[in-house]
Amino acid sequence: MAPNFECKLEKILQGHQRWVWDCAFSADSAYLVTASSDHVARLWELASGETVRQYNGHRKAAVCVALNDMNLVT
């Protein structure tokens, strides 16, 4: 028997221009980092849905990310 739970979409994060390949949540789930085919990684503040920091300069698609939020500074 499948568990009875309901999921709902809370927010759409807009900013990447191509596919998002990977993401990682901060330990407190306040932030999300994403990697995309648009050659950009982004750090999102989930409460506002805004990009806090954008990491440019990748020559090819950013396909994986990891987040060490021990010293997360915005």
State how far the Cα of 60 lies from the Cα of 53, in Å rounded to an integer.
Answer: 19
pLDDT tens-digit readout, 18-64: 999 999 999 999 999 999 999 999 999 999 999 999 999 889 999 99
State how far the Cα of 19 lies from the Cα of 38, in Å rounded to an integer.
Answer: 7
pTM of the shown model? 0.81
State how far the Cα of 45 lies from the Cα of 29, in Å rounded to an integer.
Answer: 9
- Extract the tokens encoding 31: 């932030």
- Extract the tokens encoding 70: 């021990």
Is 40:55 a contact under the CB 8 Å cutoff? yes
pLDDT of residue 71: 63
- Extract the tokens encoding 34: 């994403």
